[in-house]
Amino acid sequence: MRKFNEETPDVAGVKYFSWGAVYEPGMIDTWKWSHSVVLEKEGPNDGLVSLKSAQWGTYLGTLEGVNHLDLVGWVNTARYKWAEIMGREIKFKPATFYLGITDHLARVVEGQERTESSDTESSSEATAGAESNEANEIRQESERVEMAESLGKGEVTSGSGTPSPRPTSNTGLTTDGR
């Protein structure tokens, strides 16, 4: 994987976003063994992909209590029916999640990028670069929070481990890293 990453750099001008997921497997669970192996090697994970590996580009947050099958949309319809019978809510709905990502990309990313003027003097380039980096960090955090809020996930944890504000809307990329 390290070799792949070295030979496949990010493409300039392409925005990279990622989400991670964590959960604790039950006594009898599809991911119990793989979760324990990944946990020992790389830490918290969704049963297959660690948070460390999932973080690429702008890390938008960590989905709590979501396993890898849930994340990729291989949901067990019997589980949905059982939850309905028992009066429990299924908190993570993959179709809603990915529709939220699509909405975010359409509204926030596509065609709305601000560009810096190329007319700046070389003496002010260092200052502009520092300001640009700070503005970029603020923009990335703003995008992360907006995306988390637009997905209606309840509490989503940022890359720093700080919970995002509880979302107020109920609309609904994850990459598994490289």
Domain assignments of the chain as residue spans, ordered by start: 19-113+141-178
pTM above 0.75, yes or no: no
Confidence of residue 5 (pLDDT cuts 50, 70, 90): confident
Beta bridge partners of 145: none
pLDDT in tens, 146-174: 666 655 544 455 444 443 333 333 333 43
Q: How many CA atoms lie within 13 A of 95 on its CB side?
A: 2
Q: What's the rounded Cα separation, in Å, for the pair 104 and 17?
A: 11
Model confidence band, residue 1 (pLDDT cutoffs 50, 70, 90)? confident
What are the tens digits of pLDDT across the range 79-99? 778 888 988 888 888 889 999
Q: Which residue has the tokens 């993570």?
A: 92
Q: Rounded CA gap, 67 and 39, in Å?
A: 13
Q: So what's the pLDDT on residue 75?
A: 76
Burial 62-101 (b: 16+ CB within 10 A, else e): bbbebbbbbbeeeeeeeeeeeeeeeeeeeebbbeebbebb
CA atoms of 150 and 21, how far apart (whole Å): 17
CB distance 17 to 57 below 8 Å: yes
The set of residues, in sequence order, having a beta carbon less than 8 Å from that of 1 and lying 6+ positions away, is: 178
